[in-house]
Structure 1
Amino acid sequence: MFEISDTQKIGVGLAGFGVFFLFLGVLMLFDKSLLALGNILFIAGLSCVIGLERTFRFFFQRHKVKASIAFFGGIIVVLAGWPIIGMLLETYGFVLLFSGFFPVAVNFIRRVPVLGTILNMPGISRLVDKLAGDTSRTMV
């Protein structure tokens, strides 16, 4: 196993609260204060989990510039007071940034007992395969 530092544990908590506040902000009909708090907590949690330097390198790689601009632009638009437009822009950037992780996440979830059964159902399986892209390259 590998050791998880206290900073990484705090980062997981911050990121979890960030996702919770983002979800709550959407449920409360795009409340801009909850969405802004969720965005800040998510970014802070990600920075604590993987470190400041690796976070900076992740967001500002040459091939991810468009995605990073969309993601951070969406956060700025939410803070400026247009939460629906900002969340759409932020979601677009998030999908572009983290699309490389989707096949790995889908394969992991397929190994979870109850969720794996649901994802392997005939209609859902085809849809999840399209969303995840080529899952053959992530098989172990």
Structure 2
Amino acid sequence: MNDFKKIGIGLTSFGLAFMILGVLLLFDKALLAMGDLLFLAGVTLIIGVQRSYRFFFQRKKAKGSALFFGGMLLVLVGWPVIGMGVEVFGFINLFGDFFPIAIAFLRRMPIVGNFMTLPGVRVVVDKLAASPPKLPV
């Protein structure tokens, strides 16, 4: 793992932390905007500029990208609650394919894995981990 990926993981983590903090502090516009920018910068450093461009601007991910970036724009304009709603919907459309992989990774972690086996949490996690059925095109 090179230094760019390490910095990217840090920026992405800080971006998610700023977004969570912004939501907890009643949708603080500045924290949410900073979280969005840090998250995007971190993802770009982790996978590279060219791969980030190809990821966000694929034809099949156009709707998710438009919603994600549109939500960021709404947060910057001054409508943080609506912007975060739109952004979360776009995030799920963009990164929904990675949820089963992330959940499988989290299940192997010591403390988080134990938490994910609790009865109420397990039902939700199993539904998230189930990959959606592939529709014929």
Same fold (TM over 0.5): yes
Q: Give the structure 2 partner of residue 73 of structure 1.
A: 70
Deviation at 1:122, TM superposition (A): 3.3
User: 2:120 and 2:48 mapped to 1: Cα distance?
Assistant: 40
2:60 partner SS: helix
Match of 2:105 among 104, 108, 121: 108
Question: Is the contact made by 2:44 and 2:52 (CA closer than 8 Å) also made in structure 1?
Answer: yes
- Structure 1 outlier segments of 4+, above 6 Å: none
Match of 1:27 among 24, 29, 36: 24
Instruction: Report Cα offsets for 1:49-90 as digits up to 9, x if no partner.
Output: 110000011111111000000000000000010000000000
Judged with a 3 Å threshold, the aligned counterparts in structure 2 of structure 1 residues 114 and 89 are, in CA distance, closer, same or farther, namely same
Q: With structure 1 as the length reference, what TM-score do the two structures score?
A: 0.88
1:51 aligns with 2:48: yes
Instruction: Report Cα offsets for 1:92-134 as digits up to 9, x if no partner.
Output: 0001111111111111111112222222233322221112223
Q: Give the structure 1 partner of residue 119 of structure 2.
A: 122
* Matched residue type, 2:49: L
Q: How many residues in Structure 1 have an aligned counterpart in Structure 2?
A: 132
Unaligned regions of 5+ residues in structure 2, if any? 133-137
Deviation at 1:14, TM superposition (A): 1.4
Judged with a 3 Å threshold, the aligned counterparts in structure 2 of structure 1 residues 26 and 52 are, in CA distance, closer, same or farther, namely same
User: 1:96 and 1:67 mapped to 2: Cα distance?
Assistant: 5
Unaligned regions of 5+ residues in structure 1, if any? 136-140
Between 1:90-99 and 1:126-135, the stretch displaced more is 126-135
User: 1:123 and 1:79 mapped to 2: Cα distance?
Assistant: 37
Between 1:33-42 and 1:109-118, the stretch displaced more is 109-118
Q: Give the structure 2 partner of residue 16 of structure 1.
A: 13
Q: Give the structure 2 partner of residue 138 of structure 1.
A: none
Give the alignment's Cα RMSD to 1 decimal: 1.5
